[in-house]
Amino acid sequence: MVATPPRPAVPDHQPGSVAVLGIPFDEYSSFMRGPAKAPPIIRRTLHNGASTLFTENGIDLEGHPNIVDQGDLKLPDGDDAIDAIQAAVAGLAARGQRILALGGDHAISFPVVNALADHYDGLQILHLDAHPDLYDAFEGNRFSHACPFARIMETGRIDRLVQVGIRGMNTAQRRQVDKFGVTCIEMKDFNPDRRVELAGPVYLSVDLDVLDPAHAPGVSHHEPGGMSTRDVIGLIQSIRAPVVGADIVEFNPDRDSNGLTAAVAAKLFKEIAGMMLLQRA
């Protein structure tokens, strides 16, 4: 589990256990920086005593042998960081670990997924976000946090990309949705009972701005009209296909109010971890 230090090292990981990896990278955020500060704040919130480490499906994450905190990556600048993230995830995946990444901005998803695609054929992605993040380039940067799913899809190694919660797509983004054959469930068509059928292996990417800013104000891009925290939890808990990797990205502590978004990030962390542990790979 996300360790309250110091905790004795958990014996090295059994295959299929979940590696928690902090990825403090926000250099390619287009609008404001801040998400690089998120991983330690999410960890601190998990252990602040406000709630237990039990998930809603009854798993106690405290000291759980199949979830191991790998700490935060120390990253070089720029594109070297993208390569370093990919190498770190490749190392964990080579040891049979599943990944639960704490961003960072959404730029981290490309190197994480790219590393996992070396290990899993037919990866399907469930992407929760207010934005499709499918730009070919944004302000000249092909690795911008506005582009990861274009980079991921053009590898040709992804079986299916399902996006949920999108709102306010422009013409260029809609063209990319068509180009890459993305299943896009826009927020205007979403209802809380909506479920997404996936066949594993699955990667789950949660951009916290999929939530309405009333639920999660601590994000760089406020896009009202989004999901409730319960909507997101409902989607997480409905996943039946095996999940081999996940991320929680775009928490910007500089924009938070009263620790509310930190609590949401910690809650979603617990529910994603609980869902992955119940599956036991």
In angstroms, the CA 76 to CA 261 distance is 27
Can you give the binding site for Mn ion, defined by CB under 5 A? 106, 129-131, 133, 207, 209
Quote the least distance from Cβ 59 to Mn ion, whole Å. Answer: 28
Quote the least distance from Cβ 264 to Mn ion, whole Å. Answer: 15
Closest CB to Mn ion among 250 and 271? 250
Closest CB to Mn ion among 253 and 274? 253
Closest CB to Mn ion among 43 and 127? 127
Instruction: Identify the sign of the CA torsion 30, 247, 19, 200.
Output: negative
Quote the least distance from Cβ 44 to Mn ion, whole Å. Answer: 24
In angstroms, the CA 125 to CA 148 distance is 12
**Spatial contact of 121 and 200, defined as CB atoms under 8 Å apart:** no
User: Residue 124: what are its φ and ψ, rounded to 5°?
Assistant: -115, 140
Closest CB to Mn ion among 61 and 216? 216
| Residues written for the chain | 281
CA distances from 215 to 11, 21, 170, 257, 263 (A): 38, 25, 25, 10, 10
Neighbours of 12 (CB within 10 A): 8
Quote the least distance from Cβ 239 to Mn ion, whole Å. Answer: 19
Closest CB to Mn ion among 135 and 269? 135
Tokens of 183: 């299943």
Quote the least distance from Cβ 208 to Mn ion, whole Å. Answer: 8
